[in-house]
Structure 1
């Protein structure tokens, strides 16, 4: 698959070269952007395929992730850890992992892999670093999610455009080139902005920032980047300073993607890189440290080609710049942990809620916390979007979570990796054999403990309350937000309810449940409450019979026995199913990627064929010219000699008058307001901001609206519901609405007008149309209408009309709509399009293409407004009018100087141009066409190899 992706990338690069040399104007710009986007998608797929499949362990801080990681990476003979070059073993939990204590402990992803191979045994730890684009997005993620921007500091769109234009001009003649931050990176940043900051960064997204910067970024030096990207955080000086310092430190390492470190860099006694304290030290003193042998710096090595480079790096900056640390694991683990053969294990930093600082509150002393929050959130998004997470293990406690971002992040991963519909998820899981999403209920020991106050053999309510609290109130509602995100109760077609949930208890905290673990490191007997000796039997019974458990656990009895009996903490079942997933997930992932690669290749072929001149297109062109010629013959016959006077009458048949449009629009607005085609301009906005998901109900959609608009308390939700009611927003109407219901009024009016016109001109009372174009079973009228339909679609006439009348219609009460004005505007645009055969709405690039194609291919198109531009005086004109009959009989060539005949010739010539233009005639030379044919053949061969 790697070779297949690389072959596709080679074809894209060849195509980009061809486009740059063979196209120009708007066509070149649009095609270039499309192919660059193909390249970006392919590089993501390549990166995903080249990366080791990974199991990600994710959840809030202090939810038991470390216990799970320890169980997954320990063997009966040896505790979870890492060896140095001398074979010395370091216990990860006791000597490396930072202390938690209820707060954030790390800002890095820890990767554990049996496939890791250090380049030097003295430097066994590999640190993968953020890219420059990643650093930009880390800061932006914090700026837009942790800070309440001061409205006075938000830069205007025109201000951004002007500044970027000046930068572009300054760099016009610069020959410098760097590849550390490139065009694709800028477009990746733009995509991240669209997905995550669409509302908060509208000033940037509506500017030319990304479009322009992508073209000149390669010419800029790293020390200049702060002057460019500070616009993304409205020139906040603290953020700009931090960005400058991070890039400066990274530049010292020549932007290497990874470095290798000695074991001392991660030992707790020296100040482990995993500790968030390192980030604090960027702008604070290191004098007051609790570590017994704190070391501020660490040596690092990396490879540049065949050369080994080394330097001393401050751990504070290295911690900030690193995305993950890779800890090699001994292959002996495979005996008890076979899943490691196919997958790495990723331990993500704990998810946390976001801050709400004002810009004035940002100081050197607290910027570390902003960096931390932005980085932790961004890392998950990055790994998810780069398809580096193949199995997702969500650790969830029994009590209320603090991070509100988990439901959305998890839903995003499910959509991208498994599928956004039950059908797609079903297909993926058919290949993976088991769901790649594991939900692990940690601290299950809490639910197993006897409570002498609430638990009674006479009243079993407290037993059921445990499951209600853990599974329904906490997991379903608060952690997964299943009311908003419907996947949990609409998983696949075969299994409606998600059912890959596990239970995990901690042996160390089960001393009130089973005896002797602290003393023997194994449990012996159950501790039975004196006043309720069959407590756990009754507790198990309540678990097995609880409705949620029945729906979401495939085998509730097995789940209980694996986590709630002597020496069973739930790990064995997790490992068993994780092994099944790891053995199959790669094939499932490849199958999905293969489909996506085929979609990219199909889109690439479609784009290339637009510009390829094939025999089929020659035939299409000849048919179009033939149709135009047949119509021109009919017109010449009808308007020969004295018949030319009827040309104006024919054109009048084609024109639509303002009065008809006025009546049509009034009727349409009545339909919009009073019938089942409802004007939902505001609904369009809601659907854009909070899309309706498959399976959404009124309740689930309302909850997601509340989450989006930060209506979190019951009081806020009630007030919001009242606001919607006052605005006459009907959620039922929105959820079941057809496509017309989410179009604005201007769109509906413009589309209605064009539909009406095609019916209107076919009416039998259109005497001159019927006589001249519709007689003797001629297809001329049908051909003409078909051409106009294609032409209006090509020039997007409906959109042109809608844009012109939008300000008069959308969001305006019916009684305030200026119907005469919008009817006048709309009829004028439509009539102009008919009379000019669309040419008036062609852009310069389209016209240029037609002119050049006409010259090169000898299409016989006439672009002049008349056959003779010689000036005719008023006296000469009147003389010709008086002698009209004589001119027709004796000197018919003089007719072309008559105004109505000139109008006829102009429309006559434009008809042929119109027929040809809808054929998408390619416009390049034979050599370029042959080069394109070779590229297309490569793509066809690649398609055949699938």
Structure 2
């Protein structure tokens, strides 16, 4: 794209990315070690993630707007794509450099009515500035090496029965990583950022799986090793993500080798023989059948630099992410600004014993790779902000693709906003297309006497409210005051609806006279449904347009599609996502800027607390406060595995953490007294004694490593959309909790208290044999901090006072010692509610004390000014 506005937005994205990198350097500068302390690792991860997201957005800003057609396999997408891309007169023809236009449907599109492709097809009228190389007119986008790794991991976790898979023993895992570290270094072409991106993908999509939990510190070692491992070493390392299954490792090695030989290009070119004849075309999913074979018919791929490889057709098809079809004629005006993406149909995932499956099924590799690739391609296009608008096709049958609702919800969050409030006021870019509309006019034996609208109510329930609305709220709450209302009926006129329509030469000419009355009754039944009024913008018109002869509703869909096919919409989407990235980075860093105006800091903190407590009211009403606390604490077993792996590698603990955290209204709710209704608490608590000296002490290094692990876990909480939706929190409220807990850990010298308890243990036990005990000690102190902020150990004067209708009490006060039942009341005390109220009051005190605490901090004016420069670039724009 050469549009000035897109170039300006791309530069904005690069500015954010550059400042995230500058901030990373600032965090890792030894001059700021005391300030960032044990947050260094988690901060570095978050800053790198922010930079990667901004860089990805910069690329997206320079690519055209796209409308994608997506849905389960066999949902009726093919005809919709065909009619959108076909010119008004004549067939859809594809243009290739040096060749006459080719009829796409008769010469390229795979034969048959089965699900036919395993890649994305882009229909465009845009002619690239650089022509294809002579003899290689087919333009392809390729998978990257890390894409291949993600696909195989996706296949392993979603198609493999995890109950049949073994997890690596920590000792063997550590030995394998140590052996890889001893290999002679060879530049791989991959970076630490590539591994971080892979880790985030795995944690997002497979988080909680036994294998990921067992990998422990695999990711830290992988970030260090991958940039200097040869292909064989990378295959050995990455194979840990798919259980070491040899067929996966072999196909990874073959595809990665081809990618490296081509020079790791985003784009490659193929001869027309890759597509024609269409039997054996790389577009045909059947071509993947020979994926495990080394031989067979081959096809050449060439990069723009001139590098060329010859691959078996199955592997060339596997390596292709996207086929670009340049249309010979513009079929519709909206193609001036918009490309059409045809996604392969989403497939149900099978849970098989992979070892047995590979042994017994000839095409096992094809089946598993294909399912993983189809699922991953959608993930990739969403992550790259490639899919601006979506036509989601759903057929009237039992929905077997259980992962589809999560895929769609993720896309909605990326393009429209993750909450009803965020979606308010914006255009709706999701079109829910209910296909096979004509099947509802076939009366079955049990339909006699039933309400005419019942079949349509059942369809709306099955295809929208139950399927998508069971786990996600958007069908019923698209915005705070309205449900999702962008639903359309659609049918394919190429499939005869002979129950209601008369045909001549395969064209629809009229409705059957004897069916007009029945059609009218069904129409009245549908438009009278409350569900139709809630989820269709115009129920009557949607019904009538889908019955339009030789149209099937496509004209109505296009009419509604045209207004949103404007490149500014994509730029607005990207700008909104960029603002989110910048705001997240700003929130991450602003605590470390030393502003001596304590009153201003207090006011900002109290506003954040008030918003948090609004959210916690919802959490408590939903009964998910316990789930929130469980997410904030650390599991001793997970921590033990982490520390064991750390202890196996010399010096790994020291690399894991280097030092504590930074220093960093109120409504009265009768049922739950809000903190802050009394005068502000006393100034922040003094720091505990500094404890034993020597940052190189083993106990302190272990404590720092444990806290660092906990902080990495905390940083993921605001990014867990499913958790936030379950608890009623939003990302801002979650970040407030996380930031204040981290600040408290620093201010209370949590690492030194853990180290002190470890000294008693390690005076008698060997450290290498004590990871379980170390983990229990560290987790206990960390989790106590989450549970009551250390207030139960403080004198009464240091605890907040809770004001209730029954009077005043101290938060976290120990229950009185009683010797009889005289204190029992008829109504049991609600201990859970009492604890939750105490926790909120304790948190409010922590928040205020964190804001006031500047003790022991020496401000480096130069470093403080550098941070201010970064914050000025990242500062969020004022809310309208």
Residues 737 and 19 (structure 1), Cα distance of their counterparts in 2 relative to 1, 3 Å cut? closer
Alignment map for 1:788-937 (pairs within 5 Å): 793-795=745-747, 918-919=854-855, 921=857, 930=862, 933-934=865-866, 936-937=868-869
Secondary structure of 1:489's partner?
coil
Query: Is the aligned partner of 1:146 residue 2:159?
Result: yes
Whether contact under 8 Å (2:94, 2:327) holds in the other structure is yes
Residues 563 and 87 (structure 1), Cα distance of their counterparts in 2 relative to 1, 3 Å cut? farther
Secondary structure of 1:77's partner?
coil
Whole-Å separation in 1 of the counterparts to 2:593 and 2:301: 51
Partner of 1:283: 292
Partner of 1:630: none
Query: Is the aligned partner of 1:81 residue 2:93?
Result: yes
Query: Is the aligned partner of 1:402 residue 2:396?
Result: no
Partner of 2:376: 378
Alignment map for 1:457-476 (pairs within 5 Å): 459=448, 461=450, 463-476=452-465
Q: Determine which of 616, 619, 622 is the counterpart of 1:736.
A: 622
Alignment map for 1:601-616 (pairs within 5 Å): 601-603=585-587, 605-606=589-590, 609=593
Partner of 1:870: none
Whether contact under 8 Å (2:188, 2:229) holds in the other structure is yes
Partner of 2:191: 182
Partner of 1:159: 172
Whole-Å separation in 2 of the counterparts to 1:576 and 1:582: 11
Partner of 1:910: none
Partner of 1:765: none
Whether contact under 8 Å (2:95, 2:325) holds in the other structure is no
Partner of 1:838: none
**1:137 shift after superposition:** 1.0
Whole-Å separation in 2 of the counterparts to 1:746 and 1:369: 39
Secondary structure of 1:68's partner?
helix
Whether contact under 8 Å (2:299, 2:316) holds in the other structure is no
Partner of 1:302: 303
Q: Determine which of 547, 552, 556 is the counterpart of 1:564.
A: 547
Whole-Å separation in 2 of the counterparts to 1:742 and 1:312: 54
Q: Determine which of 107, 111, 118 is the counterpart of 1:107.
A: 118
Whether contact under 8 Å (1:418, 1:424) holds in the other structure is yes
**1:560 shift after superposition:** 1.7
**1:375 shift after superposition:** 0.9
Query: Is the aligned partner of 1:491 residue 2:501?
Result: no
Whole-Å separation in 1 of the counterparts to 2:616 and 2:562: 32
Partner of 1:535: 518
Residues 35 and 742 (structure 1), Cα distance of their counterparts in 2 relative to 1, 3 Å cut? closer
Whole-Å separation in 1 of the counterparts to 2:387 and 2:851: 52
Partner of 1:677: none
Q: Determine which of 433, 438, 456 is the counterpart of 1:440.
A: 433
1:105-141 deviation digits (Å, cap 9, x = unpaired): 2211111122252622754432111111111110011
**1:61 shift after superposition:** 1.6
Partner of 2:343: 348
Secondary structure of 1:393's partner?
strand
Partner of 1:194: 203
Partner of 1:422: 420
1:38-93 deviation digits (Å, cap 9, x = unpaired): 21221232233233222121112221111000111111223223123356332323
Partner of 1:524: 509
Matched pairs, number: 668
Secondary structure of 1:487's partner?
coil
Whole-Å separation in 1 of the counterparts to 2:412 and 2:876: 31
Whether contact under 8 Å (1:747, 1:802) holds in the other structure is no
Residues 77 and 124 (structure 1), Cα distance of their counterparts in 2 relative to 1, 3 Å cut? farther
1:582-637 deviation digits (Å, cap 9, x = unpaired): 22532541442242143145246527636xxx8889xx9xxxxxxxxxxxxxxxxx
Please list every run of 5 or more consecutive structure 2 residues that lacks an aligned counterpart in the other structure.
Answer: 1-8, 602-614, 635-680, 689-739, 758-779, 796-849
Partner of 1:544: 527
Whole-Å separation in 2 of the counterparts to 1:798 and 1:402: 49
**1:20 shift after superposition:** 4.7
1:680-719 deviation digits (Å, cap 9, x = unpaired): xxxxxxxxxxxxx9999xxxxxxxxxxxxxxxxxxxxxxx
With a CA cutoff of 8 Å and minimum separation of 6, indicate the structure with the bigger relative contact order.
Answer: 2
Whole-Å separation in 1 of the counterparts to 2:146 and 2:631: 41
Whether contact under 8 Å (2:434, 2:463) holds in the other structure is no
**1:743 shift after superposition:** 3.2
Please list every run of 5 or more consecutive structure 1 residues that lacks an aligned counterpart in the other structure.
Answer: 288-295, 621-692, 697-732, 749-780, 806-818, 835-913
Whole-Å separation in 1 of the counterparts to 2:123 and 2:631: 57
**1:922 shift after superposition:** 5.0
Whether contact under 8 Å (2:258, 2:309) holds in the other structure is no
Whole-Å separation in 1 of the counterparts to 2:63 and 2:164: 43
Whether contact under 8 Å (1:391, 1:436) holds in the other structure is yes
Query: Is the aligned partner of 1:211 residue 2:220?
Result: yes
Whether contact under 8 Å (1:746, 1:803) holds in the other structure is no
Partner of 1:508: 494
Q: Determine which of 63, 76, 82 is the counterpart of 1:70.
A: 82
Whole-Å separation in 2 of the counterparts to 1:36 and 1:418: 25
Residues 796 and 79 (structure 1), Cα distance of their counterparts in 2 relative to 1, 3 Å cut? farther
Secondary structure of 2:68's partner?
strand
**1:439 shift after superposition:** 0.5
Secondary structure of 1:95's partner?
helix
Partner of 1:250: 259
Residues 461 and 916 (structure 1), Cα distance of their counterparts in 2 relative to 1, 3 Å cut? closer
Whether contact under 8 Å (1:96, 1:268) holds in the other structure is yes
Whether contact under 8 Å (1:127, 1:258) holds in the other structure is yes
**1:564 shift after superposition:** 0.9
Whether contact under 8 Å (1:161, 1:207) holds in the other structure is no
TM-score by length of 2: 0.68
Alignment map for 1:223-262 (pairs within 5 Å): 223-262=232-271
Whether contact under 8 Å (2:87, 2:329) holds in the other structure is no
1:174-230 deviation digits (Å, cap 9, x = unpaired): 3x4333x22111111111221221222454565111112112321122232111111
Whole-Å separation in 2 of the counterparts to 1:615 and 1:734: 36
**1:562 shift after superposition:** 1.3
Whole-Å separation in 2 of the counterparts to 1:249 and 1:803: 50
**1:30 shift after superposition:** 4.5
Alignment map for 1:124-139 (pairs within 5 Å): 124-139=137-152
**1:357 shift after superposition:** 1.4
Q: Determine which of 2, 7, 19 is the counterpart of 2:10.
A: 2
**1:492 shift after superposition:** 0.9
1:818-870 deviation digits (Å, cap 9, x = unpaired): x9xx99xx99x999999xxxxxxxxxxxxxxxxxxxxxxxxxxxxxxxxxxxx
Whether contact under 8 Å (1:264, 1:270) holds in the other structure is no
TM-score by length of 1: 0.63
Structure whose CA Rg is larger: 1
**1:367 shift after superposition:** 1.4
Secondary structure of 1:534's partner?
helix
Partner of 1:589: 573
Residues 96 and 746 (structure 1), Cα distance of their counterparts in 2 relative to 1, 3 Å cut? closer
Q: Greater CA deviation, 588-597 or 366-375?
A: 588-597
Secondary structure of 2:431's partner?
strand
Whether contact under 8 Å (1:279, 1:316) holds in the other structure is yes
Whole-Å separation in 2 of the counterparts to 1:745 and 1:414: 25
Whole-Å separation in 2 of the counterparts to 1:241 and 1:36: 31
Residues 269 and 421 (structure 1), Cα distance of their counterparts in 2 relative to 1, 3 Å cut? closer
**1:488 shift after superposition:** 0.6
Whole-Å separation in 1 of the counterparts to 2:111 and 2:751: 60
